[in-house]
Amino acid sequence: MKLIYIGDIVGRSGRTALMAHLPTLKERYSPDFIMVNGENAAHGFGITEKICKQFFEAGVDAITTGNHVWDQREIINYIDDERRLLRPLNYPKNTPGQGAAVYETKSGKKILVAQVLGRLFMETMDDPFVAIDQVMAEHQLGDDIHCAVVDIHAEATSEKMAMGHYLDGRVSMVVGTHSHIPTADYQIFQGGMAYQTDLGMCGDYNSVIGMKKEAAINRFTKKIPGDRLSPGEEESTLCAVYLETDAKTGKATRFDQIRIGGRLSECLP
């Protein structure tokens, strides 16, 4: 199976990059499944039904979110009916939406996608390790599912890497989101699982993690109320990963970074 996961979409610049470069990625790699993290797609804060539908129409198969999932309140009424939109798995019971789902590709392959929210330097949540164990107890890689992807949306690199090693051999890929900076540690672990601490973002990198520099700097240098953060508006870089898995075992056979456009060096494996 071939899969592309595109990092956090930040504002209009990030959405523009996705729409501009996704056709190239589809033609170059012919992926069976395409994912994006969309929690910052709506002017940097949350996602809307309209944006979700734009992504789906462009060929996206699943959208993950994160700690900003509820920033656009309209999504609360939408997420229960749209199983292609996921929120973190370890929110309290009875939270709208779902944190994991099994999807079927056009070729009939089944892929499990799950997302958990980290707890270090983040808001208090249920244990992400327990939450993902409960999901994996119901599925077996290489048996009832052909591929399994886990997104850990977290601040601490240690927590992301711990989750990766915890799931090695049980899932196809663990990747981190939230930090908006692509890390250089993409690799395949000993148990056959692809891992990268952070995918990076689709957004303006002449910024502070996607937001205009001036307002962000003021938050660090002044102790007075300042302008609300807003996304950068210059040319965007699209950051993603490309995964290939073994048809029988579901383990990773190839794992590469993708970067296109904007200020970062291009990487098209």
What is the mean pLDDT of the segment spanning 24-53? 97
pLDDT in tens, 232-264: 999 999 999 999 999 999 999 999 999 999 999
| Nearest partner of 42 among 203, 215, 180, 206, judged by Cα | 203
- Does residue 68 carry a catalytic annotation? yes
pLDDT tens sequence across 53-98 = 999 999 999 999 999 999 999 999 999 999 999 999 999 999 999 9
- In angstroms, rounded to a whole number, what is the distance separating the alpha carbons of residues 161 and 152? 9
Which pLDDT score is estimated for 224?
Answer: 75
Residues 238 and 268 sit within 8 Å (Cβ to Cβ) = no
Domain definitions of the chain by residue range: 2-260
Average pLDDT over residues 205-218: 93
Given 68, 146, 153, 180, which residue is catalytic? 68
Q: Which amino acid is at 159?
A: E
| pLDDT band at residue 219 using 50, 70 and 90 as cut-offs | confident
User: What's domain 2-260's superfamily in CATH?
Assistant: Metallo-dependent phosphatases (3.60.21.10)
CA distance 232 to 235: 9
CB atoms inside a 10 Å sphere around CB 265: 6
Alpha carbon distance 33, 61 (integer Å):
6
Q: Going by C-beta distance under 8 Å and a sequence separation of 6 or more, which residues neighbour residue 247?
A: 1, 146
- Distance (Å, whole) CA 182 – CA 258: 10
Is the pLDDT at 226 greater than 80, yes or no? no
